[in-house]
Amino acid sequence: MIINAKDLELSYDNKKSIIQGGNFIVNEKDFVFIGGASGSGKSTLLKSLYAKILPTNGKLIVDTNNINRLSSKKLRSLRKDIGIIFQDYKLIKEWTIEENIMLPLKINGYAKNICKDQANKLLAHVKLAHAKGAYPDQLSGGEQQRLAVARALAHNPSIILADEPTGNLDEFSADVIWGLLKGANTQLGITVIVVTHKIPKNFGINFRKLSLENGKIYESF
């Protein structure tokens, strides 16, 4: 297993618990959707997986790390193994799209030539090589999210966490993003966990679904 939650309790802004007694396991190479009504705690749960929000109770193990007992060094190590995709992209507007992809590689200490080579490979992979010198604001929403996927893949993570990655996109652009995430899972063996309000029809690969309702987490079939 790569994630194990037992009696997990999470709150937002130190207010009333939004998740109470959550229990679930995510195995290596799983593709998992997290669903639930607005305000049910989907994004809060996702943030707990990279220690942006810490459990108020219970146990959460991610990639052998107990989230509540992470030193600063261990936290940095954990986050190096995770790629994150946001609904609003979180790109650095003042940097070229190549430089945006290079960011996690630079943080992880890779040499400049390796950073550039990996960025160029990923730009080709997400079909943005023609726009190498462009800035994020010069791209469409779909292109910006493709760039965000490339950035999440740059440092070869074992886990990708995506928060409503297609929420702002048209149907065609959303299909492209789903294709990239499916490829990351089936071809690269990356565990993918996606918060979404709508699972695509005829998804084409095996997946699991965790649902949040009334503070509980349960698996839907």
The 3-state secondary structure of 62-110 reads: ECCEEHHHCCHHHHHHHHHCEEEECCCCCCCCCCCHHHHHHHHHHHCCC
Sign of the alpha-carbon dihedral angle for 114, 120, 124, 127: positive
pLDDT for the residue numbered 1? 75
Closest CA to 107 of 131, 127, 79, 130: 79
CA angle 66, 72, 76 (to 5 degrees): 85
Per-residue tens of pLDDT for the chain, all 221 residues: 799 999 999 997 777 889 998 999 999 999 999 999 988 999 999 999 999 999 999 999 999 999 999 999 999 889 999 999 999 999 999 999 999 999 999 988 899 999 999 999 999 999 999 999 999 999 999 999 999 999 999 999 999 999 999 999 999 999 999 999 999 999 999 999 999 988 999 999 999 999 999 999 999 87
Tokens 């779909």 belong to 142
Q: Which residues contact 17 (CB under 8 A, 6 or more apart)?
A: 9, 10, 11, 56, 57, 215
| Both tokens assigned to 134 | 């462009």
**How many CA atoms lie less than 13 Å away from 151 in the CB half-sphere?**
28
pLDDT for the residue numbered 21? 87
Tokens 């960011």 belong to 103
pLDDT for the residue numbered 15? 75
Could you tell me the domains of the chain?
27-52+71-220 (3.40.50.300)
C-alpha to C-alpha distances, 199 to 34, 61, 124, 178, nearest whole angstrom:
9, 26, 27, 10
pLDDT for the residue numbered 58? 95
